[in-house]
Amino acid sequence: MSRTRLFIENFLIYGVGNVLTKIVPFLMLPVLTRIITDPAVFGIFDIYTIIIRFGVPMAILGSYDAMFRLYFDGEDQSFRKQICSSSLSIVAVSGCLVLLVALFLWLYGYSPWQGKYSWLVLCAGLVISSQTIKRVIEAPTRMENKRRTIIILSLLGPIIYYAIAMGLALRNYPLQGLVAGNLLSGIVVLVLYGWLNRSYFTLKGVNKGHVKELLKIGIPLTPNFLVYWIFTSCDRFMIGHYLGMESVGLYGVGARLSAISQGIYMAFAGGWQYFAFSTMKDSDHTELMSRVFEVLGVLSIISLLVLLPFVDWIFSFMVAEGYRGASVVFPYLYISPLILMLSQIAGTQLQVVKKNYISTVNRFAGAVVNVVLNFILIPKWGIAGAAVATFLGYLVMIVAMVKVVSKMGKFTVSWKFIFIVLLSICYIPISLKLDNVFMSLGSFVIVSVVLWAYRSDLVLFVSRGNL
């Protein structure tokens, strides 16, 4: 199989699966925002999901990524099953510890919502524990590229989630519906993956040596997930502090509509590890990673430029009038996950040579920039300030990452790509001041410049048909 086909097939199959996980929420959002008219409900639920997004990667301890790294070290099935079983033993212990902590906090009456909704803490603990175990149990399906299963279960989870959420919201239990849907849908998918992949996980398969190796690779990756959490979650706390829960809900709705790109990133992340590590022994691996970086970078920029003229229309169609002010965050929150996608390509080179700590330092620098800018920009620009801070933090992170791996001789970036990036960065804030006609014209001009700059690459790709 050619590398182009390998990459596209992995990207598309995870793309279909993750688009399905996003398309149901995307289609349900107009209905939910018309049933749940109080943005504060979404604000409370956003803080709840922030807790989960923090807890899951901390409990996984990087074992999911370490599984992918070690799984392809050997072809023997018994070795691979030992890797899977050893990974499950790690998350089973950490998941139980999380659940015990959540139970203690609930009994103590702790709540981050000014003393209210302490039951959400226990629910968050249950979700963190189940999702932590699910990530490892679903991994064999992804590593063996069982595409139909991935698509079906990717679609099933959101359907169950929104069926429960909608049912309870219509009975005047909107917050309870969102929480119950989130919890129960995850458990159903966990049980199904557990049944399908049961042969990969046995108590006898747990190997202490593999556990140590998994932790050795995985634990240095864990701070990376903390960094991602800072990027995607800390702004909510700051918005709540400066502007109130209603603004948190407004920002959350804007983030949900911007999550089209999050689906693209999730598709990439799911398929990327298989592609990157299965080609890491190729003699031209450095050139391959650099080409993929530029291709996806250019496509990311073009996709944003195409969407910009339609942002106001999307928000007016998709959400109730009270939520339409969230459109100001769309450009920055749309492109941010795509920047993260590009940084992961560069960061893969550090994983290949097992220098994950460098990646952690670079990402932490971006997170610090994000937090500092949130403190400065949110009081001045409101929710738009939070979106800009997120974008600039990611930008610092990827610049640092590319610079490091380039100095190591593991990466190259062309000057024309740098020019296109700088041109687009300058255009985004300007475009928000333009009407739709001039915005469309500006996007058309820049897309034309991009295509002209890469005309020879397009001809070469079409003629060669391989990365």
86 and 234 in contact (C-beta within 8 Å)? no
Structure tokens given for 162? 């929104």
Whole-number Å distance between alpha carbons of 366 and 190: 33
**Which of 316, 308, 325, 250 is closest to 424 using CA atoms?**
308
Label residues 80-119 b or e (16+ Cβ within 10 Å = b): bbbbbbbbbbbbbebbeebbeebeebbeeeeebeeeebbe
Q: How many CB atoms lie within 10 A of CB 250?
A: 27
343 φ, ψ (degrees, to nearest 5): -65, -30
Residue 203 DSSP symbol:
S
Concatenating the DSSP letter of every residue in 447-458 gives HHHHHHHTHHHH
Task: Tell me the pLDDT of the chain averaged across its residues.
Answer: 83
End-to-end CA distance of the chain: 12
Beta bridge partners of 116: 113
Question: Residue 165, CB half-sphere, CA atoms under 13 Å: how many?
Answer: 25
* Core vs surface per residue 376-415: b (16+ CB within 10 A) or e: ebbeeebbbbbbbbbbbbbbbbbbbbbebbeeeebbbbee
pLDDT (tens digit per residue) in 250-276: 898 888 888 778 767 766 666 666 666
What are the b/e assignments for 438-451, b being 16+ CB within 10 Å?
Answer: ebbebbeebeeebe
Single out the residue of 327, 331, 276, 346 nearest to residue 300, CA to CA: 331
Q: What span, in angstroms and rounded, lies between the C-alpha atoms of 396 and 9?
A: 31
Q: Calculate mean pLDDT across residues 17-38.
A: 72
pLDDT exceeds 70 at position 2:
no
Distance (Å, rounded) from C-alpha 398 to C-alpha 320? 36
> Which tokens in the block code for residue 54?
């923090």
User: Of how many residues is the chain composed?
Assistant: 467
pLDDT in tens, 405-446: 888 887 888 889 999 999 999 998 898 888 888 889 999 999
Q: Could you list the beta-strand ranges (E) of 417-459.
A: none
What's the CA gap between 7 and 16, in Å, rounded?
A: 14
Determine the pLDDT at residue 275. 66
**Structure confidence by residue, pLDDT tens digits, 289-348:** 888 888 889 989 999 999 999 988 888 888 777 788 888 999 999 999 889 888 888 877
pLDDT of residue 89 exceeding 70, the answer is yes
Q: Is the pLDDT of residue 387 over 90?
A: yes
Instruction: Copy the structure tokens of residue 217.
Output: 């690779």
- 238 vs 87, 284, 325, CA distance in Å? 35, 45, 18
